[in-house]
Protein backbone atom coordinates (compact mmCIF):
# COMPACT_ATOMS: atom_id res chain seq x y z
CA UNK A 1 0.00 0.00 0.00
CA UNK A 2 2.82 2.35 0.98
CA UNK A 3 4.59 1.53 -2.31
CA UNK A 4 1.48 2.42 -4.31
CA UNK A 5 1.16 5.67 -2.36
CA UNK A 6 4.78 6.59 -3.09
CA UNK A 7 4.37 5.85 -6.79
CA UNK A 8 1.15 7.85 -6.98
CA UNK A 9 2.75 10.67 -5.05
CA UNK A 10 5.81 10.71 -7.31
CA UNK A 11 3.60 10.74 -10.39
CA UNK A 12 1.55 13.61 -9.03
CA UNK A 13 4.74 15.53 -8.18
CA UNK A 14 6.09 14.89 -11.69
CA UNK A 15 2.85 16.08 -13.27
CA UNK A 16 2.95 19.16 -11.07
CA UNK A 17 6.50 20.05 -12.11
CA UNK A 18 5.70 19.25 -15.75
CA UNK A 19 2.73 21.56 -15.63
CA UNK A 20 4.88 24.28 -14.11
CA UNK A 21 7.54 23.78 -16.81
CA UNK A 22 5.02 23.99 -19.65
CA UNK A 23 3.45 27.01 -18.03
CA UNK A 24 6.84 28.66 -17.65
CA UNK A 25 7.64 27.98 -21.32
CA UNK A 26 4.35 29.52 -22.37
CA UNK A 27 5.00 32.50 -20.13
CA UNK A 28 8.50 32.90 -21.58
CA UNK A 29 7.15 32.88 -25.15
CA UNK A 30 4.46 35.35 -24.14
CA UNK A 31 7.06 37.56 -22.45
CA UNK A 32 9.15 37.51 -25.63
CA UNK A 33 6.22 38.65 -27.72
CA UNK A 34 5.38 41.38 -25.24
CA UNK A 35 8.93 42.70 -24.85
CA UNK A 36 8.29 45.12 -27.71
CA UNK A 37 4.50 44.85 -27.55
CA UNK A 38 4.34 43.30 -31.00
CA UNK A 39 0.99 42.14 -32.29
CA UNK A 40 1.80 39.37 -34.77
CA UNK A 41 2.28 35.61 -35.06
CA UNK A 42 5.97 35.80 -35.94
CA UNK A 43 8.72 38.42 -36.02
CA UNK A 44 12.41 38.68 -36.81
CA UNK A 45 14.91 41.53 -36.93
CA UNK A 46 18.51 41.38 -38.19
CA UNK A 47 21.48 43.53 -39.07
CA UNK A 48 21.41 43.66 -42.87
CA UNK A 49 25.18 43.47 -43.32
CA UNK A 50 26.01 40.44 -41.18
CA UNK A 51 22.53 38.91 -40.72
CA UNK A 52 23.13 39.02 -36.95
CA UNK A 53 19.74 38.51 -35.25
CA UNK A 54 18.55 41.19 -32.84
CA UNK A 55 15.00 40.05 -32.10
CA UNK A 56 13.26 36.76 -32.82
CA UNK A 57 9.78 35.46 -32.03
CA UNK A 58 8.58 32.21 -33.65
CA UNK A 59 10.88 33.20 -36.50
CA UNK A 60 10.96 29.74 -38.15
CA UNK A 61 7.24 29.01 -37.85
CA UNK A 62 5.89 28.13 -41.28
CA UNK A 63 3.14 30.56 -42.20
CA UNK A 64 1.52 32.02 -45.33
CA UNK A 65 3.23 35.30 -46.25
CA UNK A 66 0.90 36.65 -48.94
CA UNK A 67 2.54 39.23 -51.24
CA UNK A 68 5.86 39.17 -49.40
CA UNK A 69 6.66 36.27 -51.73
CA UNK A 70 7.07 38.97 -54.41
CA UNK A 71 10.43 39.70 -52.79
CA UNK A 72 11.65 36.52 -54.49
CA UNK A 73 9.87 37.47 -57.73
CA UNK A 74 11.88 40.69 -57.73
CA UNK A 75 15.13 38.88 -56.85
CA UNK A 76 14.75 36.69 -59.93
CA UNK A 77 13.87 39.72 -62.05
CA UNK A 78 17.07 41.48 -60.98
CA UNK A 79 18.97 38.22 -61.54
CA UNK A 80 17.65 38.19 -65.11
CA UNK A 81 18.95 41.74 -65.62
CA UNK A 82 22.38 40.77 -64.31
CA UNK A 83 22.54 37.70 -66.55
CA UNK A 84 21.48 39.63 -69.65
CA UNK A 85 18.19 37.76 -70.01
CA UNK A 86 16.38 41.01 -69.30
CA UNK A 87 17.12 44.70 -69.65
CA UNK A 88 15.17 47.50 -67.99
CA UNK A 89 14.13 48.66 -71.47
CA UNK A 90 13.12 45.16 -72.61
CA UNK A 91 9.56 45.07 -73.93
CA UNK A 92 7.58 42.40 -72.06
CA UNK A 93 4.35 41.21 -73.71
CA UNK A 94 1.30 40.53 -71.52
CA UNK A 95 -0.70 37.31 -71.87
CA UNK A 96 -4.40 36.79 -71.14
CA UNK A 97 -3.30 34.68 -68.17
CA UNK A 98 -1.21 37.51 -66.69
CA UNK A 99 -4.00 40.03 -67.23
CA UNK A 100 -6.51 37.80 -65.41
CA UNK A 101 -4.70 37.62 -62.07
CA UNK A 102 -6.99 39.92 -60.09
CA UNK A 103 -6.18 41.19 -56.60
CA UNK A 104 -3.61 43.99 -56.50
CA UNK A 105 -2.86 44.96 -60.10
CA UNK A 106 -2.09 47.74 -62.55
CA UNK A 107 -4.70 46.52 -65.05
CA UNK A 108 -2.32 45.48 -67.80
CA UNK A 109 -3.72 45.09 -71.30
CA UNK A 110 -3.56 41.62 -72.81
CA UNK A 111 -1.29 41.87 -75.83
CA UNK A 112 0.02 45.18 -74.54
CA UNK A 113 3.74 45.81 -74.37
CA UNK A 114 5.41 47.25 -71.29
CA UNK A 115 9.03 47.72 -70.28
CA UNK A 116 10.55 45.47 -67.66
CA UNK A 117 11.29 48.58 -65.60
CA UNK A 118 7.61 49.55 -65.55
CA UNK A 119 6.60 46.08 -64.42
CA UNK A 120 9.30 45.77 -61.76
CA UNK A 121 8.38 49.19 -60.35
CA UNK A 122 4.69 48.27 -60.19
CA UNK A 123 5.50 45.01 -58.36
CA UNK A 124 7.62 46.92 -55.85
CA UNK A 125 5.32 49.89 -55.32
CA UNK A 126 1.77 48.55 -55.52
CA UNK A 127 2.28 44.75 -55.45
CA UNK A 128 0.86 44.24 -58.95
CA UNK A 129 -0.04 40.57 -59.48
CA UNK A 130 -0.51 40.94 -63.23
CA UNK A 131 2.97 42.45 -63.57
CA UNK A 132 4.45 39.57 -61.56
CA UNK A 133 3.05 36.96 -63.91
CA UNK A 134 4.07 38.90 -67.03
CA UNK A 135 7.66 39.03 -65.76
CA UNK A 136 7.58 35.36 -64.72
CA UNK A 137 6.37 34.22 -68.14
CA UNK A 138 9.01 36.27 -69.95
CA UNK A 139 11.90 35.15 -67.72
CA UNK A 140 11.10 31.44 -67.35
CA UNK A 141 8.62 30.68 -70.14
CA UNK A 142 5.73 30.06 -67.74
CA UNK A 143 4.80 31.02 -64.22
CA UNK A 144 5.07 27.35 -63.12
CA UNK A 145 8.69 27.17 -64.32
CA UNK A 146 9.33 30.52 -62.64
CA UNK A 147 8.07 29.11 -59.33
CA UNK A 148 10.61 26.28 -59.64
CA UNK A 149 13.33 28.92 -59.97
CA UNK A 150 11.93 30.74 -56.94
CA UNK A 151 12.22 27.62 -54.81
CA UNK A 152 15.73 26.85 -56.07
CA UNK A 153 16.86 30.42 -55.32
CA UNK A 154 15.31 30.30 -51.85
CA UNK A 155 17.14 27.07 -51.09
CA UNK A 156 20.41 28.65 -52.21
CA UNK A 157 19.87 31.52 -49.76
CA UNK A 158 19.46 29.09 -46.87
CA UNK A 159 15.68 29.48 -46.64
CA UNK A 160 14.87 26.06 -45.21
CA UNK A 161 11.26 26.80 -44.25
CA UNK A 162 10.01 28.24 -47.53
CA UNK A 163 7.92 26.74 -50.32
CA UNK A 164 6.46 28.86 -53.11
CA UNK A 165 3.40 27.83 -55.11
CA UNK A 166 3.09 30.96 -57.26
CA UNK A 167 4.87 34.26 -57.90
CA UNK A 168 2.12 36.49 -56.51
CA UNK A 169 1.35 35.20 -53.01
CA UNK A 170 -2.34 34.69 -53.84
CA UNK A 171 -3.75 31.76 -51.81
CA UNK A 172 -2.67 28.38 -53.13
CA UNK A 173 -1.63 25.26 -51.20
CA UNK A 174 0.94 24.23 -50.31
CA UNK A 175 2.97 27.39 -49.85
CA UNK A 176 4.60 28.92 -46.80
CA UNK A 177 7.63 30.75 -45.47
CA UNK A 178 8.76 32.22 -42.14
CA UNK A 179 10.01 35.53 -40.76
CA UNK A 180 13.62 34.27 -40.73
CA UNK A 181 13.54 33.30 -44.42
CA UNK A 182 11.75 36.47 -45.51
CA UNK A 183 14.48 38.53 -43.83
CA UNK A 184 17.15 36.61 -45.76
CA UNK A 185 15.28 37.18 -49.02
CA UNK A 186 14.90 40.92 -48.43
CA UNK A 187 18.60 41.05 -47.50
CA UNK A 188 19.39 39.56 -50.91
CA UNK A 189 17.01 41.88 -52.77
CA UNK A 190 18.54 45.07 -51.37
CA UNK A 191 21.90 44.17 -52.88
CA UNK A 192 20.41 45.67 -56.06
CA UNK A 193 20.79 49.46 -55.94
CA UNK A 194 18.07 49.90 -58.58
CA UNK A 195 15.61 48.36 -56.15
CA UNK A 196 15.81 51.42 -53.90
CA UNK A 197 14.83 53.62 -56.86
CA UNK A 198 11.61 51.63 -57.17
CA UNK A 199 11.01 51.26 -53.43
CA UNK A 200 11.32 55.00 -52.84
CA UNK A 201 8.44 55.87 -55.17
CA UNK A 202 5.42 57.08 -53.20
CA UNK A 203 2.98 57.63 -56.07
CA UNK A 204 3.39 57.41 -59.82
CA UNK A 205 1.33 57.22 -62.97
CA UNK A 206 1.68 53.86 -64.71
CA UNK A 207 1.50 54.44 -68.47
CA UNK A 208 -0.36 51.98 -70.69
CA UNK A 209 0.34 51.63 -74.44
CA UNK A 210 -2.95 53.21 -75.50
CA UNK A 211 -2.42 56.35 -73.38
CA UNK A 212 -4.42 55.21 -70.36
CA UNK A 213 -2.78 55.68 -66.93
CA UNK A 214 -3.13 53.89 -63.61
CA UNK A 215 -2.20 55.68 -60.40
CA UNK A 216 0.03 53.50 -58.22
CA UNK A 217 0.70 54.19 -54.54
CA UNK A 218 3.30 52.61 -52.30
CA UNK A 219 1.79 50.06 -49.93
CA UNK A 220 4.74 50.43 -47.51
CA UNK A 221 3.65 53.45 -45.48
CA UNK A 222 6.90 53.45 -43.49
CA UNK A 223 8.62 54.98 -46.54
CA UNK A 224 7.07 58.23 -45.38
CA UNK A 225 6.39 57.52 -41.75
CA UNK A 226 9.70 56.12 -40.45
CA UNK A 227 13.04 57.96 -40.63
CA UNK A 228 15.53 55.94 -42.66
CA UNK A 229 13.06 53.41 -44.09
CA UNK A 230 13.79 53.08 -47.80
CA UNK A 231 12.43 49.69 -48.81
CA UNK A 232 10.10 46.85 -48.00
CA UNK A 233 7.18 44.70 -49.05
CA UNK A 234 3.72 44.40 -47.58
CA UNK A 235 1.37 41.43 -47.77
CA UNK A 236 -2.20 40.58 -46.91
CA UNK A 237 -4.65 37.75 -47.37
CA UNK A 238 -7.33 36.53 -44.99
CA UNK A 239 -5.19 33.44 -44.36
CA UNK A 240 -1.88 35.27 -43.82
CA UNK A 241 -3.15 38.34 -42.01
CA UNK A 242 -1.23 41.59 -42.38
CA UNK A 243 2.49 41.17 -43.09
CA UNK A 244 5.46 43.45 -43.64
CA UNK A 245 9.17 43.12 -44.38
CA UNK A 246 11.06 46.41 -44.37
CA UNK A 247 14.55 47.86 -44.20
CA UNK A 248 15.81 51.10 -42.70
CA UNK A 249 19.23 52.71 -42.48
CA UNK A 250 20.62 55.26 -40.05
CA UNK A 251 24.27 56.18 -40.26
CA UNK A 252 26.19 53.03 -41.18
CA UNK A 253 23.63 50.68 -39.64
CA UNK A 254 21.04 49.01 -41.87
CA UNK A 255 18.33 46.87 -40.29
CA UNK A 256 15.77 44.42 -41.70
CA UNK A 257 12.57 43.67 -39.78
CA UNK A 258 9.79 41.22 -40.62
CA UNK A 259 6.41 40.57 -39.05
CA UNK A 260 3.82 37.99 -40.13
CA UNK A 261 0.19 37.65 -39.15
CA UNK A 262 -0.69 41.00 -37.60
CA UNK A 263 -4.42 41.54 -37.00
CA UNK A 264 -4.58 44.83 -38.93
CA UNK A 265 -2.44 47.08 -41.11
CA UNK A 266 -1.62 49.53 -38.31
CA UNK A 267 -0.24 46.70 -36.15
CA UNK A 268 2.22 45.49 -38.78
CA UNK A 269 3.70 48.96 -39.27
CA UNK A 270 3.90 49.41 -35.49
CA UNK A 271 5.62 46.02 -35.03
CA UNK A 272 8.31 46.72 -37.62
CA UNK A 273 8.82 50.27 -36.34
CA UNK A 274 9.35 49.02 -32.78
CA UNK A 275 11.94 46.51 -33.92
CA UNK A 276 13.71 49.29 -35.82
CA UNK A 277 13.55 51.61 -32.77
CA UNK A 278 14.94 48.94 -30.47
CA UNK A 279 17.81 48.08 -32.80
CA UNK A 280 18.89 51.64 -33.59
CA UNK A 281 18.76 52.55 -29.89
CA UNK A 282 20.79 49.58 -28.70
CA UNK A 283 23.07 48.45 -31.55
CA UNK A 284 25.55 50.02 -33.95
CA UNK A 285 28.04 49.19 -36.69
CA UNK A 286 31.67 49.76 -35.70
CA UNK A 287 34.22 49.99 -38.50
CA UNK A 288 37.07 47.59 -37.76
CA UNK A 289 38.84 47.77 -41.12
CA UNK A 290 38.59 50.70 -43.50
CA UNK A 291 39.85 51.07 -47.05
CA UNK A 292 43.35 52.19 -46.09
CA UNK A 293 46.35 50.31 -47.55
CA UNK A 294 47.25 47.11 -45.70
CA UNK A 295 50.65 46.58 -44.10
CA UNK A 296 51.32 43.78 -46.58
CA UNK A 297 52.64 44.47 -50.09
CA UNK A 298 51.77 42.35 -53.10
CA UNK A 299 54.57 40.97 -55.26
CA UNK A 300 53.93 41.46 -59.00
CA UNK A 301 55.36 39.23 -61.71
CA UNK A 302 56.69 40.82 -64.91
CA UNK A 303 55.93 44.34 -63.75
CA UNK A 304 57.82 47.62 -64.01
CA UNK A 305 57.54 47.61 -60.23
CA UNK A 306 57.98 44.42 -58.25
CA UNK A 307 55.42 45.13 -55.53
CA UNK A 308 52.36 47.32 -55.02
CA UNK A 309 50.14 48.50 -52.18
CA UNK A 310 46.78 46.82 -51.65
CA UNK A 311 43.65 47.57 -49.63
CA UNK A 312 40.22 46.12 -48.75
CA UNK A 313 37.65 46.84 -51.45
CA UNK A 314 35.10 47.93 -48.85
CA UNK A 315 35.10 48.69 -45.13
CA UNK A 316 34.43 45.85 -42.70
CA UNK A 317 32.05 46.74 -39.90
CA UNK A 318 31.29 44.89 -36.71
CA UNK A 319 27.66 44.93 -35.61
CA UNK A 320 27.36 44.89 -31.84
CA UNK A 321 25.37 46.05 -28.88
CA UNK A 322 26.32 49.54 -27.76
CA UNK A 323 28.67 49.27 -24.79
CA UNK A 324 29.69 45.69 -25.63
CA UNK A 325 32.38 46.25 -28.24
CA UNK A 326 34.87 43.89 -26.63
CA UNK A 327 35.04 41.15 -29.27
CA UNK A 328 38.48 40.14 -30.54
CA UNK A 329 38.72 40.96 -34.26
CA UNK A 330 41.48 39.37 -36.34
CA UNK A 331 42.08 38.95 -40.06
CA UNK A 332 43.86 36.76 -42.56
CA UNK A 333 44.86 38.07 -46.00
CA UNK A 334 45.38 35.67 -48.90
CA UNK A 335 46.80 36.92 -52.20
CA UNK A 336 46.53 35.57 -55.73
CA UNK A 337 49.52 34.99 -57.98
CA UNK A 338 49.39 38.17 -60.07
CA UNK A 339 51.22 39.25 -63.22
CA UNK A 340 51.38 42.71 -64.78
CA UNK A 341 49.65 44.58 -66.30
CA UNK A 342 47.32 45.43 -63.43
CA UNK A 343 44.82 48.25 -62.99
CA UNK A 344 43.98 50.13 -59.82
CA UNK A 345 40.99 48.41 -58.23
CA UNK A 346 41.69 44.96 -59.71
CA UNK A 347 40.96 42.13 -57.29
CA UNK A 348 44.23 40.57 -56.10
CA UNK A 349 43.16 38.60 -53.03
CA UNK A 350 40.67 38.11 -50.24
CA UNK A 351 40.64 39.05 -46.57
CA UNK A 352 38.79 36.92 -44.04
CA UNK A 353 37.77 38.65 -40.82
CA UNK A 354 37.22 36.68 -37.61
CA UNK A 355 35.16 37.69 -34.58
CA UNK A 356 36.32 35.86 -31.44
CA UNK A 357 37.94 33.24 -33.67
CA UNK A 358 34.82 32.62 -35.77
CA UNK A 359 34.64 33.71 -39.42
CA UNK A 360 32.57 36.88 -39.56
CA UNK A 361 33.09 38.47 -42.99
CA UNK A 362 35.02 38.28 -46.23
CA UNK A 363 36.10 41.20 -48.38
CA UNK A 364 38.05 41.42 -51.63
CA UNK A 365 41.55 42.87 -51.59
CA UNK A 366 42.24 45.21 -54.51
CA UNK A 367 45.22 47.00 -56.00
CA UNK A 368 45.84 50.57 -54.85
CA UNK A 369 47.65 51.46 -58.07
CA UNK A 370 48.34 50.51 -61.68
CA UNK A 371 51.18 48.16 -62.45
CA UNK A 372 52.49 48.29 -66.03
CA UNK A 373 54.12 45.33 -67.69
CA UNK A 374 57.93 45.42 -67.72
CA UNK A 375 59.70 45.87 -71.08
CA UNK A 376 63.15 44.80 -72.29
CA UNK A 377 64.87 47.87 -70.85
CA UNK A 378 63.26 47.31 -67.43
CA UNK A 379 64.71 43.79 -67.33
CA UNK A 380 68.14 45.11 -68.37
CA UNK A 381 68.05 47.80 -65.70
CA UNK A 382 66.99 45.27 -63.06
CA UNK A 383 69.76 42.87 -64.10
CA UNK A 384 72.31 45.70 -63.88
CA UNK A 385 71.12 46.65 -60.43
CA UNK A 386 71.37 43.06 -59.24
CA UNK A 387 74.87 42.70 -60.78
CA UNK A 388 76.03 45.87 -59.02
CA UNK A 389 74.89 44.49 -55.70
Q: Residue 17: pLDDT above 70?
A: no
Of the residues 41, 42, 70, 221, only one is catalytic, namely: 70
Query: Could you give all domains of the chain from N- to C-terminal order, each with its CATH number?
Result: 42-285 (3.40.710.10), 290-388 (2.60.410.10)
pLDDT tens for 257-295 read 999 999 999 999 999 999 999 999 999 988 888 999 999
User: 50 an active-site residue?
Assistant: no
* Residues 139/80, Cβ–Cβ less than 8 Å: yes
**Percentage of residues of the chain with pLDDT beyond 90:** 71
User: 309 an active-site residue?
Assistant: no
Q: State pTM to two decimals.
A: 0.82
* Nearest alpha-carbon partner for 353 in 297, 294, 269, 275: 294
36: Cβ–Cβ under 8 A, 6 or more apart, which residues? 55, 271, 274, 275, 278
Of the residues 42, 127, 262, 273, only one is catalytic, namely: 127
318: Cβ–Cβ under 8 A, 6 or more apart, which residues? 285, 286, 287, 288, 325, 327, 329, 355, 360
CA atoms within 13 A on the CB side of 178: 15
d(CA 350, CA 167): 37
Which element (helix H / strand E) includes 25?
Answer: helix 2-35
User: 127 an active-site residue?
Assistant: yes
Q: Residue 200: pLDDT above 70?
A: yes
Of the residues 39, 41, 42, 67, only one is catalytic, namely: 67
Amino acid sequence: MMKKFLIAGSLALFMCFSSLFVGQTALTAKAESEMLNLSCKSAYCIDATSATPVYAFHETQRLPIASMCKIMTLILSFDAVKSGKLDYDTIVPVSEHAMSMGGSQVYLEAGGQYTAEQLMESVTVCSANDACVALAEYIAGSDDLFVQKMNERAKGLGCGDTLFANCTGLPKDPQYSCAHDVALMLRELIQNEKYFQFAGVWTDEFQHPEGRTTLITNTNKLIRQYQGCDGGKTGFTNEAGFCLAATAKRGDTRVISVCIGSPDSKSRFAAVSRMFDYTFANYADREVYGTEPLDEKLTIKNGKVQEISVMPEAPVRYFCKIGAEDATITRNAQFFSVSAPLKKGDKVGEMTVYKDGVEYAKVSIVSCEDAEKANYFDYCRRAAENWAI
